[in-house]
Structure 1
């Protein structure tokens, strides 16, 4: 019985959850690849140091791979989705802190990027939460 409670068992039940995980993976992976490949250019455009964009990009690529893997499993681990949601919430909080604390001399485009990413990640997290609730 504990296994049933800790995993999502049917594909139909997990449709929204899998969709949310795959969308998060696609967005995270695309951003990660762009950050790694164009860190110097993006650094100038956004006012962020390339030295920050390289490891953030690498993290996002790895995170995306983990999300795709999680979404592809026959049974989606509720605990793993909880970790994904916690990482997403941490991203949003760090984005707000970056803006509030003024850690970097962001350009207008950089500020818009940070806000847009935080909004999108919040949306992914909301969808993941809704997907989990449907599977409960």
Structure 2
């Protein structure tokens, strides 16, 4: 039995959390993107989001999901793209909170809840990914 690490695919401790959170974030982001693209016509009224926002947001979410999936797929996750994922999630969460706090959009109660859940989602993944990134750097 060979117990030597495979240097081509061996990952540092902490990488499992980083990789897993990037993958889960990619899948969730993809689902959100599809919902935005498919549901824009009928979600606008109940949420109070402008109808014209759904298509660009949906496309951006699908692009983001692809990027997250690519980052997670590296045998060794590069720190810079992982840090960009953390930053992107953090900025997205802050932007969503700002939209709600400023009342910049005519959100309904359901719309406020939708945006706050989105903010919690991306902020939660930013925290998980940052923790995984720090652990993998500390033990690499």
TM-score, normalization by structure 2:
0.86
Is 1:127 equivalent to 2:123 in the alignment? Answer: no
Give 1:26's aligned residue.
27
Give 2:81's aligned residue.
80
Give 2:53's aligned residue.
52
Give 2:96's aligned residue.
95
Structure 1 segments unaligned to the other structure (5+ residues): 1-7
Larger radius of gyration: 2
**How many positions carry a matched residue from both structures?**
129
Give 2:118's aligned residue.
117
Contact (CA 8 Å) 2:14, 2:133: kept in 1 or not?
Answer: no
- Report the secondary structure of 2:106's partner residue: coil
Matches within 5 A, 1:3-42: 10=11, 13-42=14-43
Give 1:70's aligned residue.
71
- Report the secondary structure of 1:76's partner residue: coil
Q: Find the aligned partners of 2:15 and 2:94 in 1 and give their Cα distance.
A: 27
Contact (CA 8 Å) 2:25, 2:68: kept in 1 or not?
Answer: yes
Moved over 4 A (4+): none
TM-score, normalization by structure 1:
0.89
Contact (CA 8 Å) 2:40, 2:54: kept in 1 or not?
Answer: yes
Structure 2 segments unaligned to the other structure (5+ residues): 1-8
Q: Deviation of residue 100 (structure 1)?
A: 1.7
What are the Cα deviations for residues 8-38 of structure 1, in whole angstroms up to 9, with x where unaligned? 9616541110001011111111000110111
Q: Deviation of residue 91 (structure 1)?
A: 0.5
Contact (CA 8 Å) 1:9, 1:76: kept in 2 or not?
Answer: no
Aligned residues: CA RMSD = 1.6
Q: Find the aligned partners of 2:98 and 2:23 in 1 and give their Cα distance.
A: 27
- Report the secondary structure of 1:38's partner residue: helix
Q: Find the aligned partners of 2:27 and 2:66 in 1 and give their Cα distance.
A: 9
